[in-house]
Amino acid sequence: MTYLLEVDHLRKHYGSLKAVDDVSFAIRPGICFGLLGPNGAGKTTTIEIIEGITAPTSGEIRYRGKPRDKSFAERCGIQFQATALQDFLTVREVLTLFANFYQHPLAIDELIDWCELGEFSDREANKLSGGQKQRLLLALALINDPEIVFLDEPTTGLDPQSRRHFWDLISAIKARGKTIVLTTHYMDEAELLCDELVIMDHGRIIDQGSPRQLLDKHLPHKRVCIAHPGNGFDASLLVGEVVAGEDELEIITISVEQTLQELMAQRADLSTLRVRNPTLEDLFIKLTGHLLRD
């Protein structure tokens, strides 16, 4: 298989603190690859090493099969967690300023269209809302028409509507053939956007794969919930673990279809039935033994 980026046995130690502890993964071109984990898991340090901002203690990074060199800076785009913008410059002026840093930048109007900046392109950049500013920072990450784009927790602090709008932009950019490396501590974000991901905690990779692969591997069971069927219902005839709550039964099962057949065989009222699929939040708790730390 051909990989765009390969990371082998990456380590970054600060004295006794192992911020990145023997991390390895490979990224195929054209996908959204996620680094998922709580704050302090080592996600940002890992991508800063890949980007060339931070020197590793040890390990190797290869881009297109060769050791990453200084030319990588021209081929990647970076959206940092926080970026200071010049005062009194409009959105268009900020884009024009940054375009002058590159030999072959994208056209400003194309960037404005890509990132939906048109309605406020003549507004001062430092007076934008949180969601609008993130769209501008995304445009700056794309200004050199990079092959690979690093987005470091780009939706932190955004309201739900702005987050969903930004997710749509990320999907649209991936559809244009860009490879995206996304760090996030939002489980729903990773589940929606990432084709593949690594789950990190305390500087190490706990597991990696597609969201579906990881859930099927660790949490194959579904949870079928139904209001208490009443007298005459025999829960012992159901296959799977049955948890009786105050108002409902929860059946933990591998086969929802089989559970439905068993419920119908006892003429249970299915009008209250709910099926809950496991989430990456459930997976994280299983793998680490604790809730996701903000």
- Please report the DSSP string for 155-216 in residue order: TTT--HHHHHHHHHHHHHHHHTT-EEEEEES-HHHHHHH-SEEEEEETTEEEEEE-HHHHHH
Q: Could you read off the pLDDT of 64-87 as tens digits, one per residue?
A: 999 999 889 889 999 988 788 888
3-state SS assignment for residue 4: coil
**Residue 95: predicted pLDDT:** 95
Is the model's pLDDT at 230 over the cut of 90? Answer: no
**Residue 229: predicted pLDDT:** 83
Taken in order 219, 171, 131, 201, the sign of the CA dihedral is positive
Is the model's pLDDT at 32 over the cut of 60? Answer: yes
**Residues 282 and 219 sit within 8 Å (Cβ to Cβ):** yes
**Residue 292: predicted pLDDT:** 53
**Residue 183: predicted pLDDT:** 92
**Residue 174: predicted pLDDT:** 94
Which residue, 132, 129, 9, 122, is CA-closest to 62? 9
pLDDT band at 261 (very low <50, low <70, confident <90, very high): very high
Between the CA atoms of 125, 127, 130 and 133, what dihedral angle is there, to the nearest 10 degrees? -10
**Residues 226 and 233 sit within 8 Å (Cβ to Cβ):** no
Taken in order 256, 262, 264, 270, the sign of the CA dihedral is negative
Question: Is CATH 3.10.310.40 the classification given to domain 5-210?
Answer: no
DSSP 278: -
**Residues 120 and 91 sit within 8 Å (Cβ to Cβ):** yes
**Residues 178 and 146 sit within 8 Å (Cβ to Cβ):** yes
Q: Average pLDDT, stretch 100-125?
A: 92
* Percentage of residues in the chain having pLDDT higher than 90: 66
Q: Average pLDDT, stretch 140-167?
A: 93
**Residues 280 and 191 sit within 8 Å (Cβ to Cβ):** yes
Is the model's pLDDT at 39 over the cut of 90? Answer: no
